[in-house]
Every structure is written in C-alpha cells, then in structure tokens.
Amino acid sequence: MPEDMGTIRAACRAELPERIKAALDEYRRFVAEPPPDDAKGFAAWQAAAKAALSHVEGLVKLARWAEGEASDEPGGLDSLLAQARDALAGLDEDDL
C-alpha cells in the first residue's frame, strides 16, 4: 500500500468536512422542492432523499474514523440524520 493509514486519515480529515457540507447543502436543496404528485414520482423522490441521507451518513462515519471517534454527541449529526429519516419514513402519498 503506497500510503500508510495515518496519511489516509489525515487526507480524510482535510477533505471530508467540505464534502459533508456539500452533500448536506445538496440534500437541503433537493428536499426544499415539493415532491411529485404522482405515486411513482413520489416514491422515486423519497428514495433519492433517503439515498442522499445514507451518503451523508457514510461520509460522517468516515470522518469519525479519520478523527478516531466512535460515536456522535447527543443532539449531533446522528440525531439530525435520524430525525430526517423519521420524517421521510412518515411521509406517504396521502401527505401530498
């Protein structure tokens, strides 16, 4: 392996905060638009929103690894992601 883990962790620490911010900004932009009225469009919209949250979650886990942390503080990003997931799970076609 050309790079040691310390170098990889340092690169992650340097790059990930901006990437997480960009992913969250795009998620916010996406969900600010109303979902489609039709059931198929709504399902696709909801799946895309869930996928975006999963992407952010993966970046956050990687950032924690880079920092050597195991868990998020109460009320932190984990809580925010859980709340967003709960809100998406509570939506259905009847909410349109």
Query: What is residue 2's three-state secondary structure?
Result: coil
Contact 18, 12 (CB under 8 A): no
**Per-residue pLDDT tens over the stretch 28-71:** 999 999 999 999 999 999 999 999 999 999 999 889 888 886 55
Q: Which of 7, 29, 88 is nearest to 54 (CA)?
A: 88
Residue 75, pLDDT above cutoff 60: no
Q: Is the pTM of this model over 0.75?
A: no
Positive/negative CA dihedral, 73, 69, 15, 57:
negative
Can you give the pLDDT at residue 1? 45
CA distance 96 to 39: 9
